[in-house]
Amino acid sequence: MEDDLVCEYDSTWDTESDGDDLGENITRRSSQDKTQKSWGFWSNTSSRNLRAARDMQNYRHGYPNINEEECPEERMTNLKFYLNEVSSSPDEVSIEAFHKEWKTDYKRLERVHSYIQWLFPLREPGVNYMASELTKKEIQAFRESDEAKRRLVESYELMLGFYGIQLFNKDTGEVKRAENWRERFANLERNMHNNLRITRILKSLGELGFEHYQAPLVRFFLEETLVRKNLSSMKRSVLDYFLFAVRDKRERRKLIKFAFQNYEPKDKFVWCPRKIQKRLRKKSEKKPEAAGNGEGGVPEDGRTKNKAKDSEAGSAPKEKKPTDDSSEMQTLTESEAHADSQRPLHELSVDPQPEESSVDPQPEESSVDPQPEGSSVDPQGLSNGETDYSSITASGLQKTEAENNDGFKEANQTENTQCQTISINAKQSEEITVYSEKPAKKKRKN
């Protein structure tokens, strides 16, 4: 059966020059199939935008239909603009002035439409007829100029800021949300012409020596639209245009896999052949099974060893120093209870009181809750009440230690150590009281 999602304008999954295990020789649809309903030129929810696919393939393949004349050096207008030798038209703004005066002027950046062709030139024309298209010779000269490339990165950062994005790493091209991302994302939702600008930016980066900047920006928009569910009006442009502007085929495949894994519903995903989707489904199904069998991620035996170490480290000090574990309430042994029963009632070291039984044995951990940046925490509330209770417990223990006789010293030391970290509830106290009354009556009879 023929795969209806194989596109003649998309060679992402062809096997020329790379050996990705998902790649295969896929027969792309012929031009005779373009009239079928599922492959209309205009985008809808159940088909791929064929016009976009053709446009992006034309860009990735270096505009094979353009027959440009030999470009003399004096006509390299775009390079001269980035070397600060000429100003843009019709705005008459130099690149240095643009970086200084327009950087945070978001209203002007939104309203004016003639600067983007100067900041990010392409080999194809734009709406500003006064801007010049790039040529192969000019591209080569631009890539060899450190000054021009430095200013291009400044232009990129300026436009990222306009979109609420920050260039986090200039070497890798990694980007992240800027502090003003909410406000700027709202502007992106309202003004969809910025989708065209971003497509141009991605193409220009690939032409002028910053091809490695493409995938990080596309990944950012895929995460925002598919994972975080933001920028819903941009989702279609991200998948139709941004994704297929990435010239590196391996990076493009990774991004398509990521998009497929996070796209819902999966049966409406049209940006790779069905045979590839089937393989991606199988791979995603195998990963949870491998994780369950201890074959992937952190090994299961490694987690077991860590748990065993934690339990050993936690159990060893229980006899020597107090802990905050509430399970200490269950450690009174039968012999210790019997030892308590041999003492008169007034010598019991635990005096259950309703106020102390409600004290949290972990005042510092329970009262200090990690707060996100910018949240307010009352420093006085961290020690409110807890210090008084701990002092009452300490004084009670000192009094008990003074009253104990030498015969019960060893038993009382164990009990006092446990009482530093626990509060025995009323029910347990009653049980100890009943247990200790019987021997007292026998002494009276004798």
Condensed to tens digits (0 to 9), the pLDDT of residues 284-298 reads 777 665 555 554 444
Residue 384 has pLDDT above 70, yes or no: no
CA distance 365 to 367: 6
Helix (H, G, I), strand (E, B) or coil at 376: coil
- Partners of 356 in the β-ladder: none
Most confident of 33-37, 74-78, 110-114: 110-114
Task: Say if 25 falls within a structural domain.
Answer: no
For residue 293, the model assigns a pLDDT of 55
For residue 229, the model assigns a pLDDT of 97
Same domain, 37 and 180: yes
The DSSP code for 272 is S
72 pLDDT tier (thresholds 50, 70, 90): low
Helix (H, G, I), strand (E, B) or coil at 176: strand
For residue 35, the model assigns a pLDDT of 41
Same domain, 287 and 340: no
The candidate with the shortest Cα–Cα distance to 141, out of 74, 88, 198, is: 74
For residue 99, the model assigns a pLDDT of 98
Residue 427 has pLDDT above 70, yes or no: no
Determine the length of the chain.
446
Helix axes 214-222, 194-207, angle to 10 degrees: 150
Most confident of 74-83, 252-261, 284-293, 399-408: 252-261
Same domain, 224 and 337: no
For residue 351, the model assigns a pLDDT of 45
Same domain, 404 and 264: no
Same domain, 227 and 336: no
**Quick one: which H or E segment has residue 325?**
none
For residue 331, the model assigns a pLDDT of 42
For residue 272, the model assigns a pLDDT of 94
For residue 288, the model assigns a pLDDT of 64
CA distance 367 to 188: 42
Task: Say if 398 falls within a structural domain.
Answer: yes
Which contacts (CB < 8 Å, 24+ apart) does range 325-331 have? 325/421, 326/361, 326/422, 328/418, 328/421, 328/422, 329/422, 329/424, 329/425, 329/428, 331/418
For residue 47, the model assigns a pLDDT of 85
- CB distance 314 to 323 below 8 Å: yes
Number of domains in the chain: 2
CA distance 409 to 401: 8
Same domain, 107 and 245: yes
Task: Say if 3 falls within a structural domain.
Answer: no
Give me the mean pLDDT over the 124-135 stretch: 94
| Mean model confidence pLDDT for the chain | 73
64 pLDDT tier (thresholds 50, 70, 90): very high
Q: Is the pTM for the entire model greater than 0.85?
A: no
Burial class of 302 by CB neighbour count within 10 A (0 to 12, 13 to 18, 19+): exposed
For residue 36, the model assigns a pLDDT of 43
- Partners of 166 in the β-ladder: 176
| Number of other CB atoms surrounding residue 65 within 10 Å | 6
CA distance 379 to 386: 14
Same domain, 127 and 264: yes
Burial class of 247 by CB neighbour count within 10 A (0 to 12, 13 to 18, 19+): buried
For residue 291, the model assigns a pLDDT of 55
Same domain, 415 and 273: no
**Quick one: which H or E segment has residue 393?**
helix 386-403
Same domain, 165 and 283: yes
Task: Say if 166 falls within a structural domain.
Answer: yes
Residue 336 has pLDDT above 60, yes or no: no
pLDDT digits (tens, 9 = 90+) for 341-372: 444 444 444 444 444 444 444 434 433 344 44
Q: Is the dihedral of CA 93, 94, 100, 106 positive or negative?
A: positive
More confident residue, 30 or 156: 156
What percent of the chain has a predicted confidence (pLDDT) above 90? 50
- Write the single-letter amino acid at 361: P
More confident residue, 301 or 193: 193
The candidate with the shortest Cα–Cα distance to 422, out of 333, 321, 325, is: 325
Residue 440 has pLDDT above 70, yes or no: no
Task: Say if 214 falls within a structural domain.
Answer: yes
Structure tokens at 46: 């159940």
The residue among 269, 292, 315 that closes a domain is 292
Give me the mean pLDDT over the 67-87 stretch: 84
Same domain, 260 and 358: no
pLDDT digits (tens, 9 = 90+) for 225-248: 999 999 999 999 999 999 999 999
Q: Is the dihedral of CA 376, 380, 381, 387 positive or negative?
A: positive
The DSSP code for 47 is B
Most confident of 58-62, 304-308, 422-426: 58-62
Same domain, 237 and 188: yes
Range of the domain at 167: 31-292
317 pLDDT tier (thresholds 50, 70, 90): very low
Q: Apex CA 350: angle with CA 346 and CA 351, to 5°? A: 70
Same domain, 267 and 329: no
